[in-house]
Amino acid sequence: METVCIIPAPACSNGIPDKDIMDFCGKPVLAIELIVYDFDGIMTDNRVLILQDGTEAVFVNRSDGWAISMLREMGIKQLIISREANPIVKVRAEKLKIPCLHDVGDKLDVLKKYLAEGNIHKENVVFIGNELNDIAAMSHVGFPVAPADAYPEVKNVAKIVLKTKGGYGVVREFFDLIKKGRKKMKKAIFITVRTGSTRLPEKALLKINERSTIELVIDRAKRSKKVEIVVLCTTESTNDDILCEIAEKNGILFFRGSAEDKLMRWKGAAEKYDVECFVTADGDDLLCDPELVDLAFEQFEKSGADFIEGKNVPCGGFTYGIRVSALNKVCEIKDSAETEMMWVYFLNTGLFKTEELENIPEVLQRPEIRMTLDYDDDLKFFKVIFNHFANNPFFTLRDVVKYLDENPEVIKINQYLQERFLDNQRSKTKLVLKKEVKE
């Protein structure tokens, strides 16, 4: 999920200013989850070539195809919704490797269903359209965009009117706009997960209300307002292929690295995606809280911390924030690949600026609540929570705490496991440094 600053609508009427977009950007900040395209007049110039046998052909722009592939690499979902019934739309979509809904009468109705099924916030959706029948769908999403030759009524609802006409690189121009608007400090959430769990086998793939537990973690991570990319960090084992498929399906990035050395896996992900700081979310943390994640990102910017530890919050609500420069240093000084309990290298070496997470709302200062998935009763706890909020997919950690206070028996389902969990962690905690560091 790329976070980009976009020029406010008034500055964009009659085309994008030549001046660098970063001079204009500020609020609103848009975390793009999905870009929806009309087909004719966006990817084509609206002309149709009719051959002698009645076959139709259209002109498309190769630069749009390249831009679409780049957007896919950024982890942004894309979709074509077209009124056109001609199979040429589907053929082009298959070539571009993006889903396509064609022969659509009511675009708004189809869009609403697609967003609901994908658990996608309409505020985080871009719709690029040019026709009058695009207006309802464009008005529904957070960021409507129009090409230069769109109908005047369509331009009136667009927050950006591009310089480019349909069929001449509309998607490429919008991609360039995103690239210019990206913040310099790339913030990430690294979701650390693998299928090889022992206490609760393949827990990442267990289902709650028809969604795998790892998808529930992804859903929460994507709700951060300050994150720029979400990366699923897994192993090179073929058993974890399915996790990479889930990441792609849910519009986030993935990285495959060491099964044993979590630190090196994060280092590889940070290098690949040019990350400056990140917040960790274990695959066990089904209720990792975007509000607490955003507090950590704010703290990184204000204090210059190397490592932020989440204390006095529900177990699983927030774990750690790490600056990549500190991570690189740890990878230089450690002398072990067993780094599951990696925090010790940051907190116990005296080499880094470490802080506890600050400004935690009082309502979330509840360390006695266990919200992590390790045992059968943890799964039972989460099923009760998610079943209660089944009709409210965007419920918050505040909502959960309120519900638990009103139903204290739910807390007790798995609370007794916390000491066993902590004992297991303590047994795995080791600080193994290279000889020259010790000396």
Same domain, 14 and 163: yes
Give the mean pLDDT of the chain: 86
Q: Are 137 and 28 in contact (CB under 8 A)?
A: no
Work out the angle at residue 230's Cα, subtended by the Cα atoms of residues 354 and 34, and round it to the nearest 5 degrees: 150
pTM of the model: 0.63
Q: Helical H runs in 78-209?
A: 88-96, 107-118, 135-140, 152-157, 170-181
> Tell me, what CATH number does 131's domain have?
3.40.50.1000
Same domain, 170 and 203: no
Cα-flanking dihedrals φ and ψ of residue 307, to 5°?
A: -150, 130
6 Cβ contact list (under 8 Å, min separation 6):
21, 25, 28, 29, 30, 143, 159, 160, 177, 181
Residue 52 has pLDDT above 80, yes or no: no
Distances (CA, A) of 65 to 61, 72, 169: 7, 11, 9
Tens digit of each residue's pLDDT (9 = 90 or more) over 269-278? 999 888 999 9
Q: Supply the pLDDT for residue 101.
A: 86
Whether the upstream peptide bond of residue 10 has omega within 30° of 0, thus cis, is: no
Same domain, 210 and 328: yes
Question: For 218-236, what is the mean pLDDT?
Answer: 93
Residue ending a domain, choose from 181, 204, 239 = 181
Question: For 297-314, what is the mean pLDDT?
Answer: 93
Q: Helical H runs in 252-289?
A: 262-273
% of the chain residues with pLDDT over 90: 57
Cα-flanking dihedrals φ and ψ of residue 259, to 5°?
A: -75, -35
Q: Are 174 and 156 in contact (CB under 8 A)?
A: no
Tens digit of each residue's pLDDT (9 = 90 or more) over 144-193? 999 999 999 999 999 889 999 999 999 999 998 887 765 555 899 999 99
What is the count of structural domains for the chain? Answer: 2
Same domain, 366 and 234: yes
Could you please report the per-residue DSSP string of 343-404? HHHHHSSS-S-EEE-----GGG--TT-B---SSHHHHHHHHHHHHHTTT-TT--HHHHHHHH
Structure tokens at 121: 């916030």
Q: Supply the pLDDT for residue 82.
A: 85
Work out the angle at residue 158's Cα, subtended by the Cα atoms of residues 155 and 161, and round it to the nearest 5 degrees: 65
Q: Supply the pLDDT for residue 72.
A: 85
Tens digit of each residue's pLDDT (9 = 90 or more) over 7-42? 333 333 333 333 333 333 333 334 688 999 998 888
Alpha-carbon span 123 to 115, nearest angstrom: 11
Same domain, 44 and 161: yes
Half-sphere exposure of 393 (CA within 13 A, CB side): 18
Alpha-carbon span 27 to 87, nearest angstrom: 40
Half-sphere exposure of 431 (CA within 13 A, CB side): 10
Tens digit of each residue's pLDDT (9 = 90 or more) over 251-269? 899 999 999 899 999 999 9
Question: For 198-213, what is the mean pLDDT?
Answer: 91
Q: Supply the pLDDT for residue 439.
A: 56
Same domain, 332 and 415: yes
Residue 5 has pLDDT above 90, yes or no: no
Residue ending a domain, choose from 181, 207, 235 = 181
Alpha-carbon span 301 to 314, nearest angstrom: 24
Q: Supply the pLDDT for residue 53.
A: 78
Question: For 353-362, what is the mean pLDDT?
Answer: 96
370 Cβ contact list (under 8 Å, min separation 6):
314, 315, 316, 378, 381, 411, 414, 415, 417, 418, 421
% of the chain residues with pLDDT over 70: 91
**53 vs 34, which has greater pLDDT?**
34
Residue 65 has pLDDT above 80, yes or no: yes
Same domain, 424 and 376: yes
Same domain, 335 and 358: yes
Q: Supply the pLDDT for residue 438.
A: 58
Residue 385 has pLDDT above 90, yes or no: yes
Question: For 367-393, what is the mean pLDDT?
Answer: 95
> Tell me, what CATH number does 419's domain have?
3.90.550.10
Q: Supply the pLDDT for residue 49.
A: 79
pLDDT interval class at 355 (50, 70, 90): very high
Residue 237 has pLDDT above 60, yes or no: yes
Q: Supply the pLDDT for residue 1.
A: 37
Same domain, 354 and 386: yes
Q: Which DSSP symbol is given to 101?
A: E
Same domain, 55 and 170: yes
Residue ending a domain, choose from 181, 215, 232 = 181
pLDDT interval class at 139 (50, 70, 90): very high
Among 70-84, 286-300, 412-426, the range with the most confident prediction by mean pLDDT is 286-300
226 Cβ contact list (under 8 Å, min separation 6):
3, 187, 293, 294, 297, 298
Same domain, 207 and 123: no
Half-sphere exposure of 101 (CA within 13 A, CB side): 16
Alpha-carbon span 198 to 372, nearest angstrom: 15
Give the residue numbers spanning the domain of 287. 187-438
Same domain, 170 and 270: no
